[in-house]
Chain A
Amino acid sequence: MFGHDLNPMDLRPQDVDRATEQARGVEAALAEADGLLAELTGTGRSRSGHVSAVVNAEGRVLDVTVGERALREGAIALCEDIFTAVGNAQEDVQRQAEALLRGHLRQAVPDLAMDPVELRQRLERLLD
């Protein structure tokens, strides 16, 4: 389950002990990462650089800053700037969250083959 070779037809007590130990490690790493995730913020800018945004770990917008020059190109251009800045901030925080989760799991369980991002994507595909 967690990466080392297991033969389902020949499970030994030490295999169960090892899997249990890894599961505890994963649980502890996730709990620790959870607290750090809550403190993450992502930042993003528009292509023009005149609009910037800050979001929290859940992608909720905390602040949008509009520069004086962002207004010169009109309302439609400003909408695009806001759209891009917020999107970039959300991508930024997602990248940070994934890196943090991977780092914590690797540190807690070095021989863990499971990738948390891949696992999440596989779980999401279950409902496709």
Chain B
Amino acid sequence: MSWPAPDQDSQYLDTILRQTRDAMRHLRAAKHMIGQVEGTGEAADGLIRVRTGADGVLRHVDLNPRALRLTPEAIGREVTRAIQSAQDDSARQAKEIVNGVASHVDALPEPLDERFVEHRVETAMRDLYSGGL
């Protein structure tokens, strides 16, 4: 891992700030887009149609009255199939949005930790000794 030299601290912080703002902007946009996602699913030859959000919650269920000619068991099975299909569709759409924003978040450097502090202290000590002796 490479750390900024002491005389580059200000520049380094500016870069981090810019990259963080950029990542946050993309994350906010992604969150908004995920909120708009609507997956669709259907079964029983289109007699049952379902829409779900990215969270898998039902947004709309539509049953053509002709679906009631099926047995209750078949309706339950087909409704399950339609909902699962809509949930798969909404999950796929949400994943595409997340993948699209991942590159902006991955570009952020790792946060400075105790290794950086240790490195900076060692550098200062070295400078002190080499200057003083």
Chain A: residues with CB nearer than 8 A to chain B? 58-68, 70-71, 74-76, 78-79, 82-83, 86-87, 90, 127
Taking each of A66, A76, A86, which has the highest tally of chain B beta carbons within 10 Å of its own beta carbon?
A66
Q: Which residues of A contact B73 (CB under 8 A)?
A: 66
Q: Which residues of B contact A71 (CB under 8 A)?
A: 68, 72, 75
Contact A75 B64 (CB under 8 A): yes
Interface string of B38-78 (1 = CB under 8 A from A): 00000000000000000111100111110110001101100
Q: Which residues of A contact B84 (CB under 8 A)?
A: 60-61
Please pick, from A65, A75, A83, A127, the residue contacting B76 in the complex, using a CB distance under 8 A.
Answer: A65
Tell me the complex Cα distance, A78–B64, Å: 11
Choose the segment among B5-13, B24-32, B92-100, B118-126 that binds chain A (4+ C-beta atoms closer than 8 Å): B24-32
Q: Which residues of A contact B61 (CB under 8 A)?
A: 79, 82-83
Contact A64 B72 (CB under 8 A): no
Please pick, from A75, A83, A86, the residue contacting B67 in the complex, using a CB distance under 8 A.
Answer: A75
Q: Which residues of B contact A66 (CB under 8 A)?
A: 72-73, 75-76, 79
Chain B: residues with CB nearer than 8 A to chain A? 24, 27-28, 31, 55-58, 61-65, 67-68, 72-73, 75-76, 79-80, 83-84, 87
Q: Which residues of A contact B63 (CB under 8 A)?
A: 75-76, 78-79, 82
Tell me the complex Cα distance, A60–B55, Å: 9
Contact B76 A78 (CB under 8 A): no
CB of A126 to closest CB in B, whole Å: 8
Q: Which residues of A contact B55 (CB under 8 A)?
A: 59
CB of B74 to closest CB in A, whole Å: 9
Taking each of A67, A71, A82, which has the highest tally of chain B beta carbons within 10 Å of its own beta carbon?
A82
Q: Which residues of A contact B65 (CB under 8 A)?
A: 74-75
Q: Which residues of B contact A58 (CB under 8 A)?
A: 56
Q: Which residues of A contact B31 (CB under 8 A)?
A: 127
CB of A52 to closest CB in B, whole Å: 9
Which residue on chain B has the smallest CB distance to residue A52?
A: B76
Q: 19 A-B Cβ contacts within 8 A?
A: A59-B55, A59-B57, A61-B84, A61-B87, A63-B76, A63-B80, A64-B79, A64-B83, A66-B72, A71-B68, A71-B72, A71-B75, A75-B65, A75-B68, A79-B63, A82-B58, A83-B58, A86-B83, A127-B28
CB of A57 to closest CB in B, whole Å: 11
Contact A79 B28 (CB under 8 A): no
